[in-house]
């Protein structure tokens, strides 16, 4: 059975999707843009943006009773691959070894003109 996960500590969905869904012991977190949930403002400096996206993801996981240590897979979408190293620097502050599996892509555009979007799968 699929369960919707939702928290006010992360920005609400901007379309017909959930912040996250849980199936059994697995949580699927939708891509998190660097939007400050308190102000609704998009964060536009790359390190701060990555921090915000990961903080949003963390808040959703916590709502489901999970931690960043439960994350098994992430996907990072970048507006510019030049930001790869800066995002890695921030990313390493949120995860410890053994790190989750990860894919990272540069894409043509992200919603709202964001610099980064990060999604994850977590399991217990």
- Predicted confidence at residue 49, as pLDDT, reads 98
In the predicted model, is pLDDT for residue 14 greater than 90? no
What is the pTM (predicted TM-score) of this model? 0.96
* Residues 33, 120: Cα–Cα separation, whole Å: 13
State the CB neighbour count (10 A cutoff) for residue 78.
23
* Domains of the chain, CATH where assigned: 2-123 (3.30.1330.40)
- Predicted confidence at residue 40, as pLDDT, reads 95
- Predicted confidence at residue 80, as pLDDT, reads 98
Q: Give me the residue label for tokens 């059994």.
A: 24
Phi/psi-derived region of residue 70, left when phi > 0, alpha when psi is between -120 and 50, beta in every other case: alpha
List of residues 6+ apart from 40 with CB closer than 8 A: 11
Q: pLDDT, tens digit, for every residue of 70-106? A: 999 999 999 999 999 999 999 999 999 999 999 999 9
Q: What is the dihedral of CA 74, 30, 12, 117, to 10 degrees?
A: 50
- Predicted confidence at residue 27, as pLDDT, reads 98
């Amino acid at each position: 059975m699929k369960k919707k996960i939702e928290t006010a500590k992360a920005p609400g969905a901007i379309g017909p999707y959930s912040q996250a869904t849980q199936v059994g012991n697995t949580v699927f977190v939708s891509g998190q843009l660097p939007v400050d949930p308190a102000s609704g403002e998009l964060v536009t400096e790359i390190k701060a943006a990555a921090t915000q996206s990961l903080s949003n993801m963390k808040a959703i996981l916590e709502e489901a009773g999970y931690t960043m240590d439960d994350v098994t897979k992430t996907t990072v979408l970048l507006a510019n691959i030049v930001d790869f190293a800066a995002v890695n620097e921030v990313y390493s502050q949120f995860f410890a070894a053994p790190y989750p599996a990860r894919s990272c892509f540069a894409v043509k555009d992200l919603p709202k003109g964001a610099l980064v979007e990060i999604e994850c799968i977590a399991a217990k």
